[in-house]
Amino acid sequence: MAGTSDATAGAGSPDEAPASEFRKDMGPWANFALGFTYLSPVVSTYTLFGTALATGGPPMIWAFLMAGAGQFLVALVFGEVVAQYPIAGGVYPWARRLWGNRWAWMTGWVYMWALLVTITSVAYGAGPYIAILFGFDPTVHTTVLCTVVLILVAAVINYAGTKALSWAAVIGFTGELVGALVVGIYLLVTHREHGLGVIFDSYGTEGNGSYTPVFLAAAIIGFYQYYGFEACGDTAEEVEHPGRVIPKAMRRTIYVGGAAATFTCLTLLLSVTDYHAVISGKDADPVVNVLYDAMGHVGARIVMGVVLISFLSCTVSLQAAAGRLIYSYARDRMIFGHQVLQKFSSARAVPTYALLVAAVVPALIAFGSLVSEDALTKIVSFAILGIYASFQMVVLAALRARLKGWKPAGEFTMGRVGVVVNAGALAYGIFAIINICWARTPEEPWYDNYVVLLCGGVVLVSGLLYMFTTHHYGRGDAASGDAVPSEGASS
């Protein structure tokens, strides 16, 4: 089967997906649910609510609006690209068709590491909830063990095949709605402590300076929220009529996921009894304390069980995206070990060894986090940096292709406003990347203060060295650089 996949990787017209070994077992609803559970309003909000509130006070909720507007522009650009190039692997094959093999290789490299770290960040965020649910202390070591167990359970679900992935996505979607809407409404009805005016009150988090730097630091909750919609395109070869279905699924993921996340954050904000206790660090886990206060011990643990469904489904979706990216890389012979990584289980219709990498590497990252203080914030920050960087590499490639004559020819196009939207998406992405890398703790050692930027530099430099020493980027025969007609002919 692997040989067949290689032989046909470049087959078909330029706008068609390569001959695929995947089964089209994923319907439109499941494709949307996959993106929604990856974006996961419950996971992002429950993971970073305490950090964002302590940093920026209640107005940090406006970060959802800011990040949602920017990422919606990115989703529109991606919708045009996937409509014309519905290929498994997402940003890597899109960058290849828009610009060329080298740019695609680097885009895929950055995105791969960002996905692997994001898997760890999501599973790590679930650790304290697992500990509380099962009645043991959420120490650093137990959190890491819970992280690894969640990653392994997600891998088992992914190995069961596309239908199991679809069911996991739909079940996770249901858990997300319960966690966001049902719990949120209950908190508003039974445990509301404040009026809506608090979302304009910083509670002194800015000290004697401007509130803008404080808000931008707290905005990590918004940046972490709005990615995952691209997962709808990662499974493009498993969906009927992908050029029509996937762009809609991406946009719906932004609409529904963003609204659910904002509502979840708002209900928690209005239910926190003492903001000053959170800001001072006295209340280090406001989400858990709110749930216990509002629902009692039994009710809170039931909610944590529902929340864990969201964390698990999000991890499953991330693994699915990472596995398909690695498989797509290997299918084009673009990475070391491609002979093994492109192996495909015809019985379950999944890339066997690519999924294994998507489980083992995040587990190793989790164990590695034991050497760092405040590991969760650093892991999340690096994950955001990598995802946003890889997104912007596609956005930049699309803008370059447009200016050189590319006219999107899929079932979804933006027409004349495409260039303006594309430029806006690029501007937003650059702003977000700078904000994530900005050093905000000058009192810390330089290497700790710049750890996110340093990790990003390591990924970039190692990728460049790998690419230009192995020349794997030039080994595949899949179509590349053909979005721009003249460059496609020279390729």
Domain ranges of the chain: 2-476
pTM score of the predicted model: 0.83
SS3 of 458, please? helix
Q: What integer pLDDT is reported at residue 8 of this predicted model?
A: 34
Q: Which of 478, 456, 336 is nearest to 384 (CA)?
A: 456
In the predicted structure, residue 83 carries a pLDDT above the cut 80: yes
Among 106-110, 208-212, 452-456, 485-489, the range scoring the smallest mean pLDDT is: 485-489
Is pLDDT of 217 > 70? yes
pLDDT-derived band at 487 (thresholds 50, 70, 90) equals low
Two tokens, residue 345? 């289980």
Q: How far is CA 479 from the centre of its chain?
A: 27
Q: Which residue has the tokens 């499974």?
A: 235
- 147 or 7, greater pLDDT: 147
> In Å, how far are 2, 71, 104, 213, 215 from 206, measured between CA atoms?
57, 27, 42, 8, 9
Three-state secondary-structure class, residue 47: helix
| Buried residues in 262-278 as b, exposed as e (16+ CB within 10 A) | bbbbbbbbbbbeebeeb
Cα pseudo-dihedral 204, 209, 212, 214, rounded to 10: -50
pLDDT at 12: 37
241, pLDDT greater than 60: yes
Residue 2 has a pLDDT of: 35
Contacts of 99 (CB under 8 A, 6+ apart): 397, 400, 401, 481, 483
> Has residue 105 got a pLDDT over 50?
yes
**What integer pLDDT is reported at residue 394 of this predicted model?**
95
Where do we find the tokens 């608090």?
198
Quick one: 2-476 is in which CATH superfamily? Amino acid/polyamine transporter I (1.20.1740.10)
Whole-Å CA distances, 363 to 63, 153, 289, 335? 30, 12, 29, 21
Residue 228 is predicted with a pLDDT of 79
Identify the residue with better confidence: 69 or 170. 69
Q: And the tokens for 223?
A: 């940046």
pLDDT greater than 90 at residue 314: no
Name the one residue in this structure whose structure tokens are 């079940």.
Answer: 171
Q: Is residue 74's pLDDT more than 90?
A: yes
Give the pLDDT confidence of 358-389 residue by residue, as tens digits: 999 999 988 887 766 666 677 888 888 888 99
Residue 160 is predicted with a pLDDT of 86
Instruction: Quickly tell me which residue has 């940046």 as its tokens.
Output: 223
Provide the phi-psi class of 89: left if phi over 0, else alpha when psi is between -120 and 50, else beta. left
173 vs 264: CA distance, rounded Å: 15
Q: Using CA atoms, how far apart are residues 272 and 452, in angstroms rounded to an integer? A: 31
Q: What is the mean pLDDT of residues 301-328?
A: 86
Nearest Cα to Cα of residue 391 among 235, 236, 234 = 234
* Cβ–Cβ < 8 Å for 243, 86: yes
- Distance of alpha carbon 409 from its chain centroid, rounded? 27
Q: For residue 419, which amino acid is it?
A: V
